[in-house]
């Protein structure tokens, strides 16, 4: 499948305050039986404005928060209609002002199975209906209860469905998902915040609000290049808190609307270069960040 190699290029992981935002772990392109691809990318993003609830705020005691990450993404075709996808990141986050210490280390390991359930031919076009289930967990015990951190520290279950349309080189993919987040253990006793977020098992555990996610992506996938534009909206599904004194950061209800673009160029054989840009259009308890990324894509 010509386009299967190129689509690995759309993997871009965006980090703020423990929130991995990657336009979803999966896309609509199947890899193909016993075929594999590997993408190694680097990214940097920064913000000097963040949302308390949905209100934009600047904090001179925080300055500009910069997050850099190295990301490894692999996909392997277990069958013609079933793919295994794995992703891991090393992340560093720091603020230019204030007392927030720099955080650095391995973030989360994510894995997903993607299944192409139905495939319809519409003349020269094709419409596919896909499903995916995924799970992620922290690779180490990193700091979660801080404005500057590399992850939220929760164990997450991700389920989603996709419609993927192709006609010649043009494609359009829409997907909708639900992310169930597990509780997080804090290293402090919670004294004041929304009691609804306190996990009943212990006073040191708090609930992390679940989210729903919608992603729309369209573009062109040709023999030697790939380009797309995308829109992503993540919405808190369960109630949560807003950023404030004494409130644990993992309990905050995080949402955002983002848009961006990716490009890929095949150099020689199955080796290519990829680059991307994205920005935050609106948000809830998250940074108003912009991001650039680039890396190598290898087909195996």
Residue 165, in any domain of the structure = yes
Residue 206, in any domain of the structure = yes
pLDDT, tens only, 94-152 = 999 988 899 999 999 999 999 999 999 989 899 999 999 999 999 999 999 988 999 98
At 193 the pLDDT is 67
Given a contact cutoff of 8 angstroms between Cβ atoms, the answer to whether 259 and 229 are in contact is yes
State both tokens at 159. 């389920």
Residue 284, in any domain of the structure = yes
Residue 257, in any domain of the structure = yes
Report the pLDDT averaged over residues 81-106.
Answer: 94
Given a contact cutoff of 8 angstroms between Cβ atoms, the answer to whether 61 and 98 are in contact is yes
pLDDT, tens only, 200-253 = 656 688 889 999 999 999 999 988 899 999 999 999 998 889 998 888 899 999
Hey, which residues does 52 pair with through a beta bridge? 55
Residue 5, in any domain of the structure = no
- For the chain, how many structural domains are there in total? 1
Residue 118, in any domain of the structure = yes
DSSP letter string, 130-184? EEEEEEEEESS----SSSS-S-----EEEEEEEEEEEETTEEEEEEEEEEEE--E
At 16 the pLDDT is 34
At 17 the pLDDT is 35
Using a cut of 0.75, tell me whether the model's pTM lies above it: yes
Residue 11, in any domain of the structure = no
At 246 the pLDDT is 83
Residue 15, in any domain of the structure = no
**CB-based contacts of 55: which residues, under 8 Å, 6+ apart?**
none
CATH number reported for the structural domain that contains residue 85 in this entry: 2.40.160.40
Cβ neighbours of 126 (radius 10 Å): 14
pLDDT, tens only, 26-68 = 888 888 889 999 999 999 999 999 999 999 999 998 999 999 9
Q: How far apart are CA 28 and CA 33, in angstroms?
A: 15
| Domain boundaries, position 195 | 35-299
């Amino acid at each position: 499948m010509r386009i299967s190699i190129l689509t690995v290029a759309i993997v871009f992981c965006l980090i703020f305050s423990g929130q991995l935002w990657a336009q979803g772990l999966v896309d609509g392109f199947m890899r193909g039986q016993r075929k594999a691809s590997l993408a190694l990318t680097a990214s940097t993003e920064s913000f000097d404005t963040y949302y308390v609830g949905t209100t934009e705020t600047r904090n001179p005691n925080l300055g500009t928060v910069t997050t850099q990450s190295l990301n490894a993404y692999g996909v392997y075709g277990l069958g013609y209609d079933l793919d295994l996808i794995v992703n891991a990141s090393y992340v560093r986050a720091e603020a230019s002002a204030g007392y927030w210490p720099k955080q650095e280390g391995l973030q989360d390991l994510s894995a997903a199975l993607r299944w192409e359930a139905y495939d319809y031919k519409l003349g020269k076009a094709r419409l596919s209906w896909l499903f995916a289930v995924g799970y992620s967990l922290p690779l180490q015990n990193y700091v979660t209860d801080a404005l500057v951190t590399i992850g939220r520290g929760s164990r997450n279950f991700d389920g989603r469905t996709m419609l993927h349309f192709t006609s010649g080189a043009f494609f359009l993919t829409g997907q909708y998902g639900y992310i169930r987040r597990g509780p997080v253990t804090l290293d402090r006793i919670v004294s004041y915040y929304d009691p609804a977020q306190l996990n009943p098992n212990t006073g040191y555990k708090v609930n992390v609000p679940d989210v729903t996610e919608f992603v729309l992506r369209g573009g062109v996938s040709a023999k030697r290049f790939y380009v797309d534009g995308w829109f992503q909206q993540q919405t808190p599904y369960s109630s949560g808190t807003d950023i404030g004194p004494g409130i644990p950061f993992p309990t905050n209800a995080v949402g955002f609307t983002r848009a961006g673009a990716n490009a890929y160029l095949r150099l020689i054989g199955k080796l290519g270069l990829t680059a991307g840009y994205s920005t935050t259009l609106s948000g809830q308890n998250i940074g108003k960040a912009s991001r650039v990324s680039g890396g190598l894509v290898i087909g195996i």
